[in-house]
Amino acid sequence: MNKLISILLLTVIAFSANSQEAKLTIRVIAPPTTPAQDSIRPIGNQGVWGFWIYPKSKSLKSKGNNVWEESYTFPLNSQLEFKITRGSYYEEALYNGNGQSAQPVKLTLTKDTTITLSPSNWNDIYQRSIVGDVRYHHNFASSYLRNTRNVVVWLPPSYFKEKNKNYPVLYANDGQNLFDHTNLSGSEWRMDEIADSMMRKGDIEEFILVGVANTKDRWVEYNGTPEGERYLQFLATELKPFIDKTYRTKPDRENTAIIGSSMGGLISFYALYKYPEVFSKAACLSSGFFFDDGKIVDLLKKDLKPLENSAVYLDCGGKDLDFDFLPSNQEVNSILAKDKKIRLKYEEFPNDPHNEVAWSKRLHIPYKFLFSKK
């Protein structure tokens, strides 16, 4: 009888102890850039995570198909903090597409919990993925806008060799999509590789490339809205003077261009139309005239003078969203073609979808149009 009571007591004690614990499962869907030989390792404030000392932390288990997972048991209401790495702080996971390390995941463990994380890239790979020299200006503020954004400046091959030389500037919207794989789509324009290659071959003039990141307000800022006007004011009267002061630029309108795709193409067109004293040329790929709230097509039908003595590159694919965008791009081309004072180039790519890979494949065309060697 005493033996039975002892067993029951042990069972109750074990059940009571287990009820005071909960399980945390960490699942990581690794990005395509993850080296095959590497492992995924959490670093955090618990002993199993090394108390923030990465050599002491153990790796997650590979489940195949770039999925890594492990479960841990902690006392209820534990305050947990951790980051995902590939084994060091330099190899931390990135999620937000701007090259800054993510904040730790923080939670109070009140029940069994599964956290799934999908990094967009790794810090070390992001830092090494850009061809050429870049400078970062994080959290660039504007008096016109309600947010900040990151600005990345790509410098041409001869910039540090020819120290008395000044360069034209190309401003590029959607800065997260230009140089690396940290954007949400998982692909990039390869603006750096293509520019570097064409410049070294002598196919185009060397220029400085300024990547301007978008924000959560992208839709209204890249549109013919009051917010879009404020974004253009930011580019023309705040960012450009900063770039001209900080780098060796050719600040005149003849040497200032802008490029973008989709809604970024639309706001690039607006920049040329609204600020012809600042920009003299624009490349607008798969532009979102279809979604414009400012009715730029109606403005063009009434007045083309702001675009005279300027250069406009327009193109559009034929698949996915480009299928819907094509008619409005064709209409804009037809309107601009009536004014011979506008230098115009228009291209159609019927088999191209609406994404960075497609824009990358044809980027050499607007590069040559904007910066052909004189």
Q: How far apart are CA 272 and CA 197, in angstroms?
A: 27
Query: 185 and 301 in one domain?
Result: yes
Domain boundary among 73, 98, 123: 123
Query: 50 and 173 in one domain?
Result: no
Query: 191 and 83 in one domain?
Result: no
Domain boundary among 123, 157, 173: 123
Query: 252 and 148 in one domain?
Result: yes
Q: How far apart are CA 372 and CA 192, in angstroms?
A: 17
Q: How many domains does the chain contain in total?
A: 2
Residue pair 129/179 in contact (Cβ under 8 Å)? The answer is: yes
Query: 321 and 235 in one domain?
Result: yes
Residue pair 190/362 in contact (Cβ under 8 Å)? The answer is: no
Query: 146 and 13 in one domain?
Result: no
The predicted-structure confidence for 302-335, as pLDDT tens digits, reads as follows 999 999 999 999 999 999 999 999 999 999 999 9
**CATH classification at residue 62:** 2.60.40.10
| Predicted pLDDT at 127 | 63
Residue pair 255/262 in contact (Cβ under 8 Å)? The answer is: no
Query: 309 and 217 in one domain?
Result: yes
Q: pTM, whole model, 2 decimals?
A: 0.71
Q: How far apart are CA 230 and CA 353, in angstroms?
A: 31
pLDDT band, very low/low/confident/very high, at 299 (cuts 50, 70, 90): very high
The predicted-structure confidence for 122-179, as pLDDT tens digits, reads as follows 887 766 667 888 999 999 999 999 899 999 999 999 999 999 999 999 999 999 888 8
Query: 113 and 154 in one domain?
Result: no
Query: 359 and 272 in one domain?
Result: yes
Query: 359 and 270 in one domain?
Result: yes
| Predicted pLDDT at 122 | 84
Q: How far apart are CA 168 and CA 156, in angstroms?
A: 10
Query: 109 and 134 in one domain?
Result: no
Q: Which amino acid is at 152?
A: V
**CATH classification at residue 148:** 3.40.50.1820
| Predicted pLDDT at 182 | 47
Query: What domain range is 15 assigned to?
Result: 2-123
Residue pair 366/264 in contact (Cβ under 8 Å)? The answer is: no
Domain boundary among 69, 93, 123: 123
| Predicted pLDDT at 4 | 44
Q: 């998982």: which residue's tokens? A: 186
Query: 88 and 226 in one domain?
Result: no
